[in-house]
Amino acid sequence: MALDLQPLNLPGIDNRRPTVIAGPCSAETEAQVMTTATALHEAGYKIFRAGIWKPRTKPGGFEGNGITALPWLRRVHEELDMLTATEVATADHVRAALDYGVDILWIGARTAVDPFAVQSVADALRGEDIPVLVKNPVNPEIDLWQGALERVNLAGIKRLGAIHRGFSYYERNIYRNLPMWHIPVELKKREPGLPVFCDPSHIGGKRDLIAPLCQHAMDLGMDGLIVESHCDPDSAWSDAAQQVTPATLKSIVDQLDIVNLSDLG
């Protein structure tokens, strides 16, 4: 089925590509959230992301502050006039995020791999008008990714986008997750009206890979970037190695060579 889409209507940098969604992997403390958001706002960014619920591979790690952190996102929205974004994995997550006025939701890679979980989230979104982004599932199966998008779309969400965050791979590689660029390119061919964002933080896993991954995404005509940015990356409670400061992010984005979409054919 073809997706029934409406524009996301998300702000870009100076009203041009790419739209950038930036913020820390996790909302650790209110001070960390506000310090990072303020620096990103001063750098010109308009959409702040932070993980509220963090799915971890093994128990015992920091799994997010949950509902406790949602008022911090609301403060970012109210005091800095930034849109806010977070990941949801359950119907309860959806309801809590909506109750606190989160502006953009995304479905993570671990959730996107499970049609039952995606359907539960989609059902909770029914009747809402909110931008929803769907990350590729952890395994490289485009039909599963497309199916997750269709489930959300069938629930009435028309402001829909995809996030390419790479794919799990058993053998050691320079990337945390293999880019397999041909998969998001094929998705864009199947759904030409679907905005596709690149998540260089989760593809690379290391901050020195973020700039070249961002540029490659722009070379392929992707619509936006979702990048992990922290006021003190080395002290981050999760995924410290792949986060950059707001100043570094601004330098990366400012140096991107943005291709003209009309030249891509």
The reply to whether 265 falls in a domain is no
- Specify the pairing of strand 47-49 against strand 224-228: unpaired
Domain with 179 in it: what CATH number?
A: 3.20.20.70
pLDDT in tens, the chain (265 residues): 899 999 999 987 555 678 999 999 999 999 999 999 999 999 999 999 999 998 877 787 788 899 999 999 999 999 999 999 999 999 999 999 999 999 999 999 999 999 999 999 999 999 999 999 999 999 999 999 999 999 999 999 999 999 999 999 887 789 999 999 999 999 999 999 999 999 999 999 999 999 999 999 999 999 999 999 999 999 999 999 999 999 999 999 999 998 764 443 3
Q: Alpha-carbon torsion 37, 98, 129, 218, what sign?
A: positive
| Residue range of the domain that includes 187 | 19-256
The reply to whether 180 falls in a domain is yes
Q: What is the pTM of this model?
A: 0.95
The reply to whether 127 falls in a domain is yes
Q: Residue 70 and residue 92: Cα distance in Å, rounded?
A: 13
Look at residue 132 and give its three-state secondary structure: strand
Give the chain's domain count.
Answer: 1
